[in-house]
Amino acid sequence: MDIKPLADRIRPMEIDQVVGQRHILGENKILNRIINSGKITNMIFYGPPGVGKTTVASIIAKKSNKTFYKLNATNASLSDIKGIISDLDGIMGINGVLLYLDEIQNFNKKQQQSLLEFMENGKITLIASTTENPYHYIYKAILSRSTIFEFKPLTKKDIIWGIKRAINILNTEFENKKIQFTKEAIEYIAEVSNGDLRKALNAVELSVYSTRINEEGIIYIDEETAKECTQTKILNYDKFGDSHYDILSAFQKSIRGSDVNASIHYLARLIEAGDLPSICRRLLVIASEDVGMAYPNAITIVKSCVDSAMQLGLPEGRIPLAQAVIVLATAPKSNSAIVAIDKALQDIKSKDVGEIPNNLKDSHYSGAEKLGRGIGYKYPHNYKNHFVKQQYLPNNIKDSVYYVPGENKIEEKILQYMKYIRDNR
C-alpha cells in the first residue's frame, strides 16, 4: 500500500474536486478562468495552512506544458534557484518553467530578486504561496508582477465534505474491510480542525490505522476514538503575524461598536492564545480612544483590572479582563480625546504655530521681567468662577479649536460648564 500521507494520496487532480475556495475557483470565477484558459501568469496564493494552495498549484502545473519545479523556501537556497535558472537555456526550458515556491516569505530580498529577470522575460512563471500577508513579506517588485489570490479558511461543511471523500477513497484501498465513521466523529474532527483540511485528514488517517477491525470486519470510529486521535483545537494565531493584528483589530472594533458579546468572544481568542500583554495594552488604549470623556472613570477601572490580571496571570486573570471588556463595551463612547490631540499634533507638524505668548512664559528667574516674561499674566483663581479671559494659544493659531465635546451626558455637562464660565466671567 502507498505509504504517502493520506492528504497526498487523495490530492484532487481537477479543480472541481478542490474543497472550498468557491470565491476564486467556482464556475466563471477569476482563477478558474485563468486555469481553463491555459495562459498561466505569475501568481501568489495567500492563506492559512491546509486550504488548498499546494493542491491548486499542482493542478495548474499539470495543465501547463511548462517544466515544473517545486521548492520550499523554508529549506531552499539561492543555489537551488541558480540550478533552475541554468536549465532555462537547455531542453528543459524550451517551453519555459513553472516554479512553485512554497512559503515564499522565508526567502530574503536577494533570493526573491534573483527571480525577477526571468519573470520579466517569461522564462519563469512563478506561483508562490504564503501564510503571511504578502504585502508585508514579499518584495514589491514581485508583487507588482503577480496576481494575488486569497485562500479562505475552510468551513466546517467544507471539511466534512473532504473527510467523507477521504473515507470513500480509503474504503477502496482496503480489501475485505470497511471503514465506518459515525456522524459525531466526522463532525468532531471537522470542528477541531479549524479550517485546515490537512489536519482533518491526518486525524482520519490516524483513526483508521490505530483502530482494530471488529468481528464484522469493520474499522469502526466513534467520537471517542476521534477525540483520542485528534489534537486540541489550535487557533490560527501568530503573535507577529496577520492573525495577531486581525484579532486585536476585531477586539477593539467590537468594543467600540458596543457589541459586548463579540468583545468577549475576541477576548477569549486572545486569552486562549495566552497573549496577556497585548490584551492589557489594547484595553488601556480603548479606555481613552473610544470611551474617553464619555466615561472618564473607565480608564481608572480598566487600569485596576489590567493590573490585577498582570498580577494574577492566566487563567485567573481572565476574570478582571472580562470585567474590563464588559465595562468598556457597555460604556457610552466618545473619541473627542484622540481627535483633539491628533488635530493639535497635525497643526504642529504642518503650520507655523508661532511663539508662546510672553505672559505665559516662565518668569521664575532673575531677569525674566526684563525679557517681558510673565508680564500681564492674570491668575484665574483671583477671578469669579476661577476663570478670566486671556489668550493662551500662540497668535498664529489663537482661534484654533481642538476639543469638541461629544454627544453624551458627561460631555454635555462639560459643554454647559464651558459656556457658563465664558458667559459669567
Instruction: Tell me the per-residue pLDDT of 286-343, one tens digit each, with 9 for 90 and over.
Output: 999 999 999 999 999 999 999 999 999 888 999 999 999 999 999 999 999 999 999 9
Cell of 63: 495543465
Can you give the pLDDT at residue 94?
62
Can you give the pLDDT at residue 238?
52
Can you give the pLDDT at residue 321?
97
Can you give the pLDDT at residue 183?
92
pLDDT band (50, 70, 90) for residue 133? confident
- Size of the chain, expressed as the number of residues it contains: 425
Can you give the pLDDT at residue 214?
82
Spans of all domains in the chain: 21-150, 156-228, 242-330, 350-423
- Nearest partner of 331 among 299, 365, 374, judged by Cα: 299
Yes or no: say if 189 and 163 are a contact pair by the CB < 8 Å rule: yes
Kindly report the average pLDDT of the chain as a whole number.
Answer: 86
Residue range 15-40: average pLDDT? 87
Q: CATH homologous superfamily of domain 21-150?
A: P-loop containing nucleotide triphosphate hydrolases (3.40.50.300)
Going by the DSSP 8-state scheme, the letter that residue 221 receives in this structure is E
Q: Say how far apart CA 188 and CA 167 lie, in whole Å.
A: 15
Helices 53-63 and 30-37: crossing angle in degrees, nearest 10, is: 30
Q: Which residues pair with 148 in a beta bridge?
A: 44
Q: Say how far apart CA 261 and CA 256 lie, in whole Å.
A: 12
Name the range with the highest mean pLDDT among 142-156, 167-181, 327-341. Answer: 327-341
Can you give the pLDDT at residue 253?
96
Residue range 72-101: average pLDDT? 76
Residues 6+ apart with CB under 8 A from 122: 96
Going by the DSSP 8-state scheme, the letter that residue 289 receives in this structure is I
- Residue 87 vs residue 247, higher pLDDT: 247
Indicate the burial class of 360 (C-beta count within 10 angstroms; 0-12, 13-18, 19 or more).
Answer: middle
**The listed CATH number (3.20.20.70, 1.10.3710.10, 3.30.1330.20, 3.40.50.150) that belongs to domain 350-423:** 1.10.3710.10
pLDDT of 425 > 90? The answer is no
Q: Say how far apart CA 198 and CA 202 lie, in whole Å.
A: 6
Instruction: Tell me the per-residue pLDDT of 61-77, one tens digit each, with 9 for 90 and over.
Output: 888 777 788 888 888 88
Cell of 265: 468572544
pLDDT of 243 > 80? The answer is no
Can you give the pLDDT at residue 232?
58
Candidate from 76-85, 175-184, 318-327, 402-411 with smallest mean pLDDT: 76-85
Residue range 346-359: average pLDDT? 90
Q: Which residues pair with 365 in a beta bridge?
A: none
Calculate what percentage of the chain has a pLDDT beyond 70.
94
Q: Say how far apart CA 26 and CA 16 lie, in whole Å.
A: 8
Q: Domain 242-330 classified CATH 1.20.272.10?
A: yes
pLDDT of 115 > 50? The answer is yes
Can you give the pLDDT at residue 1?
46
Q: Say how far apart CA 353 and CA 231 lie, in whole Å.
A: 61
- Nearest partner of 35 among 50, 17, 57, judged by Cα: 57
Look up cell 492563506; give the residue: 47
Q: Say how far apart CA 378 and CA 360 lie, in whole Å.
A: 9
**CATH code assigned to 156-228:** 1.10.8.60
State the sign of the Cα–Cα–Cα–Cα dihedral 275, 270, 54, 148: negative
Yes or no: say if 206 and 229 are a contact pair by the CB < 8 Å rule: yes
Residues 6+ apart with CB under 8 A from 278: 239, 244, 248, 270
Can you give the pLDDT at residue 26?
87
Q: What is the CA radius of gyration of the chain?
A: 31
